[in-house]
A = this chain, B = another copy of it.
Amino acid sequence: MLASIVKRTRILPGELAIIHDIRRRAASARTSSLIAGIGDDCAIIRPKAGYEICVTTDFSLEGRHFHRDLHPPESAGHRCLARGLSDLAAMGAEPLAVFLSLALPARLPAAWLDRFFDGFLSLAARHRVPLAGGDTAESPGLICADIVAIGQLPRGHARLRSAARPGDLLYVTGCLGGSAAELLALSRHPKKFRGLAKAAPGHPHLYPEPRLAQGRRLRSLAHAMIDISDGLSTDLTHLCEESGLAATLEEAALPINPLALSAASRKEALALALNGGEDYELLFTASPRAKIGRSFLGVPIHRIGVLRKRTRKQPLILLNTPDGRRIPVIAAGWQHFHSGS
């Protein structure tokens, strides 16, 4: 029995190699806000004076958020980090540091992990956010990654879901349904996944782009803001519920991703745009008097609807169709216990 405990507490050579590798690869990313990163009981972060801290955590689980036999490891790493950064973007925050906890099966090939970090760290470098720590453990099952993203913003300037006002116009960055459509197209031709080991525009599922710069710009323009990682229908429901309002969407105004239009019928493409999820775009509301351009820093902005007072008679979300009908939209995207929805 003692032997089993001693064995339990012994260092696993594979684990040690991972620690050293992560340390080496993360060491270069020190910033002026990160006082101490990997190498102590905690990392130490120094936010700017007068700033608040934003914190979000998101799982990326093998078999649920990615498939080892389909997704290139670079995509799994990229998407893992993008999930966290997109939440910071939705508050209008600047990233300070990220933490990655990884539970890995004992027999995971070293090359998989190496390529996972290629994807993760190349997105991190692009947004100048250091990997400041985390945890590793041997997983008795599948790969389990948990990303923690820490950001900062001026005190009281967070764009909350609850801050929408009646009459606000509703906007979205980028396109809708692209992630689900790309997954759908790739699932039909799984071999195509393999050739897509490098982040590039036009791959909303494999390499979504967190809208950090747009989120910061919107800090002074938007009332309420949320990212639509869970799908427009679900995240708009969150926004309406938190703000105590209802919404009307214009179907003709929805910027449906061309990938969705080519992968599915018009009706299915609309379903992907409303419910597909994982688009990592920003949904925000602003006063009709606010000057919202047609694009922010190269990303198109579309006005897709309006917020109205909530009544008992009307559904929370209505969709005006091009042929003049009004259809209720129910939350049919992804829902989870988030930092914190």
Contact = CB atoms under 8 A, between A and B. Distances in A.
Contacts of A141: 139-142
Given A40-B161, A41-B338, A5 B333 contact: no
A331 B338 CA distance: 39
Interface in A1-45: 1-2, 4-6, 9-11, 15-16, 18-19, 22-23, 35-45
Given A6-B275, A141-B141, A44 B54 contact: yes
A198 to B, nearest CB: 24
A91 B37 CA distance: 13
Interface stretch (A59-67, A165-173, A316-324): A59-67
Contacts of A139: 61, 64, 141, 144
Most-contacted residue by chain B among A19, A90, A155 (CB, 10 A): A19
A304 to B, nearest CB: 19
A331 B10 CA distance: 9
A22 B137 contact: no
B103 A275 contact: no
A54 B64 contact: no
B337 A38 contact: yes
A332 B10 contact: yes
A244 interface: no
Interface of A: 1-2, 4-6, 9-11, 15-16, 18-19, 22-23, 35-47, 49, 52-59, 61-65, 87-88, 90-91, 93, 97, 99, 101-103, 132-142, 144, 146, 148-151, 155, 158, 160-162, 180, 183-184, 187-188, 225-227, 231, 234, 242, 264, 268, 271-272, 275-277, 331-341
9 contacts: A5-B184, A6-B271, A6-B275, A9-B333, A40-B161, A43-B55, A44-B158, A46-B52, A63-B140
